[in-house]
Chains A and B, each alone.
Chain A
């Protein structure tokens, strides 16, 4: 088992006729993902990477039975693409697009909340269940099937952590990129709940970063609701206040969102802390061994 995606997940790509959308659709197909089609308004009837292109998500869903979508639509139109997927009843909506205006997401959030859809992202690498289904832009080969659930606000940092795990002989159940924006569809808490309920996930590794309070909320949740071993790393200990560190969400403002506060909250919840980014995989091993 795994969370969110598996070998039966049927995936479409919104923005499939764009250069990036097509490139990553091919990457997912190569990995073995069941890609079943794509959507670009006005390009219905075309074929990309051997897949049928539809004008609307509703048509694509009806024709292919898709239950997941990955979105590569440009930032100015991406919020609308998310709303279209939710409106068409797609269960899992994964928004890869970086640079969506925050106010657009503020309009999307209540619609998603009142729907049966789950949104992952935006500004995220996607979701992968190794050897079964890859939806997104992560390099497939660094992953191995196994029992560690991985979740993160950052892309390449996740690759780093996954690579360390794989080299240490710890495969992954599912890896989830939450996204680096201030407003994202799923939080650490949402994914923690799924990992906790998944019998195939035996331990959890999370990578947070400065800004906001999602890590503190996750720590509180772990303390009360998670029985599995958890390890964590927080990026941005050296980041100065008031400066946006690449991600729109990674900013220390008003004395809030510092790495110190997050690390203290995580440690207080009994979470094993990786002191260095070179120590993420090892921290997960320590968290597991502590329980034995």
Chain B
């Protein structure tokens, strides 16, 4: 689960990570008032959307950037006006962009240097890891690709947290002045602790700023969370902003389905995540474009499968649907029955290609044939892909 920058900073502040004072605003008036309340000579007015690249991103149809500096309350009002309710396009939003519903008005600080740090789980080490770099404010992926030497990593134990010496080692490698090392120790250890305690999957601070007075502060903050651990963090789960999420994905999650919307015309309904991804690949290999990823899971019943069809059909781009089921524990007869019931209750408006294999496959095919439902049966993966691509073009 993703959250906004201002929410991440609230969480980090509570965890003892230094962040600047700021206020979220949902109208130009609120933004102007926030500037006055903060009382610093300069404030940043930052669009709050669930995507990065805001500083370089632009509002559709104007030169307004996603992050701008305000030197007066009037400035703050003008910038907020240019952002709120408008569509911001960044490198991460795609060309459609995302609507800005709130801005974060944050006090400024005197920047000496910009650094980078992040905490995530290192699959290879099997532990959380703190990553830091002197190349702050830049595209870290580009830094990692071109100058891997600039990326520093310190794995740490989830229970013990980052050790003081590890923080000092990083401070030294980042060439921070020795007077700032105690700040670095406190900053990095609190950040790592917050990552573990909140079951985050990513905390990214870019840039991490060394201020003129030698302190460290998180100028930007991005946090994402492990969905599987939200049950034990009600306060974090409450930060979900459904306005930022795809409505069909919210609906699918409620039905216990795993669904990701894509841009193509061929709806896919599959059991198992790996097979679902492979089915999308197969469609593309045969010249089609998948409209979605959808894994109905192993224990799907008629109700869940029906909801899956409703979600796929709610996408106006869908011209044909491919059902690919490899029955294991899930029996083909169960799926076939669900298909027939779904076709009666949902009503298919586009061609449906079905490929069944595995447990009780012959009985399943008989159920489909006997139902009189208009279904194109396919033998094997390749046949299914060819048939659904042809059907989508017809």
Contact = CB atoms under 8 A, between A and B. Distances in A.
A99 interface: yes
B284 A238 contact: yes
A152 interface: yes
A137 B298 contact: yes
Given A137-B298, A159-B326, A243-B260, A236 B277 contact: yes
B359 interface: yes
Given A102-B228, A276-B282, A182 B277 contact: no
B11 interface: no
Interface stretch (A28-36, A41-49, A57-65, A208-216): A208-216
B293 interface: yes
A160 B326 contact: yes
Interface stretch (B36-44, B64-72, B121-129, B338-346): B121-129
A240 interface: yes
Contacts of A156: 270-272, 274-275, 326, 328
Nearest to B229: A101
Interface residues of A, number: 67
A154 B326 CA distance: 13
A180 B262 contact: no
A278 B382 contact: yes
Interface in B253-281: 258, 260, 262, 270-281
B293 A246 contact: yes
A183 B121 contact: yes
Contacts, number: 181
A119 to B, nearest CB: 11
B329 interface: yes
Interface string B345-365: 000000000000111000000
A139 B330 CA distance: 9
Contact of A101 (B199, B295, B329): B199
B228 A75 contact: yes
A155 to B, nearest CB: 5
A236 B284 CA distance: 11
Nearest to A101: B229
B141 A254 contact: yes
Contact of A157 (B275, B284, B298, B329): B275
A141 B385 CA distance: 26
Contacts of B205: none
Contacts of A155: 272, 274-275, 298, 328
A103 to B, nearest CB: 5
B278 A235 contact: yes
A202 interface: no
B123 A212 contact: yes
Contacts of A267: none
A245 B273 contact: yes
A106 B124 CA distance: 11
B277 A235 contact: yes
A246 B295 contact: yes
A15 to B, nearest CB: 15
5 A-B pairs with the lowest CB-CB distances in the bound complex, closest first: A154-B274, A246-B273, A156-B272, A157-B274, A101-B229
Given A27-B329, A103-B226, A156-B328, 5 more contacts: A103-B229, A157-B275, A212-B123, A238-B284, A248-B227
Interface of B: 92, 121, 123-124, 126-128, 140-141, 144-145, 157-159, 196, 199, 201-202, 226-229, 231-232, 258, 260, 262, 270-285, 290, 293, 295, 298, 326-329, 357-359, 380-382, 385
25 contacts: A101-B199, A101-B229, A103-B226, A110-B126, A110-B127, A125-B328, A139-B327, A139-B329, A155-B298, A156-B270, A159-B275, A159-B358, A235-B281, A238-B262, A238-B284, A239-B280, A244-B260, A247-B274, A248-B228, A250-B274, A276-B281, A276-B282, A278-B282, A278-B380, A278-B385
